[in-house]
Chains A and B, each alone.
Chain A
């Protein structure tokens, strides 16, 4: 497959991916069995009395209660809710992130948009530090994967493609480290594959 044909196939597949993202964006809110932030912002009353799963950023910690912000796709606050029946020993800090499962109720006596008695509360991130931990560790994972890949493959920028670093079967010199030995074994097996 020459470069032009590969680019054409890549363009078609990119369009397919774009179409998938559009279809997902158009249908996911309706297919998800619980209200999203956008749906809560539009019409919260529709979900009052229903058992729902909501995701929220922790704002304050009280005695057996927390307040959370459920946000919409723009990151704006769609609902500020009080969550009751919260175990006191969960080490939650403001800035943490939780899942709450329970019945959504209205609360007209406070400034809140409503409250939930948590039947299940899952602490996803105890604090902003937990979020930072995930991002840092994920970045390390990405770099590790890229480095591992580029150890075995190189990028041919002219042809816009990946090709194996050691194309021809070669005998390990025995003087290198284990990585070299690995490559030697790889080449031998790859050579068999190629001949096959």
Chain B
């Protein structure tokens, strides 16, 4: 996976641009999509809690990596969506969309055997061919994400100023 900052910046750029076109996607929902983009990486909680400890406590196999999959983000987004005071269906859709942006960026990552991670679980364990574009520590990914997000932010500011000036 790319590091989390790149995912956050990509999601910001993607959903800000989408907000220019989609009337219902107002500015306050862009950060919801950005939070959605960090959901798959909550599997890192396993580094802190220790999966063997949880397996020993539950008595069954256990892996937080389920969170970093299609099924995992569908369920986790549901938990997030019920925390909103209203428009929970919209919150759910936007959280899922943000999380999918994360999984899709990760689907481009380099694997030595040429196939991406099995992120479509539980629909399928299929590993589709990966274009092998980057490794997770590649600072070039962050550079691209940063330039993209900065460009979108500047254009967004310009758009807001133009909107204010127009009658």
Residue of A17, A156, A172 touching B85 (CB-CB under 8 A) = A156
Selected from A10, A130, A172, the residue in CB contact (under 8 A) with B164 is: A172
Alpha-carbon distance between A74 and B52 when the two chains are bound, in angstroms = 6
> A13–B64 contact, CB under 8 A?
no
Given A149-B31, A161-B85, are A178 and B157 neighbors across the interface (CB < 8 Å)? yes
Contact A123 B135 (CB under 8 A): yes
Please, which residues of chain B bring their CB within 8 A of the CB of A189?
23, 26-27
A34–B115 Cα distance when bound, in Å, is 12
| Pairwise interchain contact B7-A6, C-beta atoms closer than 8 A | no
**Are B112 and A120 interface neighbours, CB within 8 A?**
yes
How many whole Å from A139's CB to the nearest CB in chain B?
8
- Interface contacts (Cβ under 8 Å), in number, total 187
Taking CB atoms, residues of chain A closer than 8 Å to B23 are 189, 192-193
Are A182's CB and B27's CB within 8 A? Answer: yes
Stretch at the interface among A19-27, A39-47, A60-68, A103-111: A19-27
Interface assignment of B82: CB less than 8 Å from any CB of chain A: yes
Distance between Cα atoms of A9 and B80 in the complex (Å): 11
A153–B112 touching, CB < 8 Å: no
Contacts of B76 in A (CB 8 A): 17
Across the interface, which residues of A come within 8 angstroms of B75, CB to CB? 13, 16-17, 20
Task: Establish whether residues A138 and B160, one from each chain, have CB atoms under 8 Å apart when the complex forms.
Answer: no
B58 near A22 with CB under 8 A, answer yes
Contact in complex: A153, B28 (CB < 8 Å) = yes
Would A133 and B112 be within 8 Å (CB), given that A24-B63, A185-B160 are in contact? no
Asked if A81 is at the interface (CB within 8 A of a chain B CB), the reply is no
Q: Cβ of A10 and Cβ of B113 under 8 Å apart?
A: no
Q: A151: which B residues are within 8 A, CB to CB?
A: 31
Residues of chain A with a CB closer than 8 A to B139's CB: 133
Contact A134 B28 (CB under 8 A): no
Tell me, yes or no, whether B71 is within 8 Å of chain A by CB. yes
Q: Identify which of residues 33-87 in chain B touch chain A, using a CB-to-CB cut-off of 8 Å.
A: 34-35, 37-38, 41, 44, 51-52, 55, 58, 60-67, 69, 71-72, 75-76, 78-79, 82-85
Which residue of chain B lies nearest to A101 when distances are taken between CB atoms in the complex? Answer: B112
For A34, list chain B residues within 8 Å (CB). 113
Which residues between 110 and 165 of chain B lie within 8 Å of chain A, taking CB atoms? 110-114, 118, 121-122, 125, 127, 135-137, 139, 142, 156-157, 160-161, 163-164
The residue that A193 contacts in the complex, of B12, B24, B160, with Cβ under 8 A, is: B24
User: Can you give 5 contacting A-B residue pairs, CB < 8 Å?
Assistant: A6-B83, A17-B75, A138-B41, A141-B4, A185-B160
Q: Which 5 A-B pairs have the closest CB atoms?
A: A141-B5, A141-B4, A25-B61, A24-B66, A138-B4
Enumerate chain A interface residues (CB-CB to B < 8 A): 1, 6, 9-10, 13-14, 16-17, 20-26, 28, 31-34, 53, 73-74, 99-101, 120-126, 130-131, 133-134, 137-142, 144-146, 148-149, 151-153, 156, 159-165, 172, 174, 178, 181-183, 185-186, 189-190, 192-193
Known contacts A145-B31, A181-B160; 4 additional CB pairs below 8 A are A10-B82, A22-B62, A28-B118, A153-B31
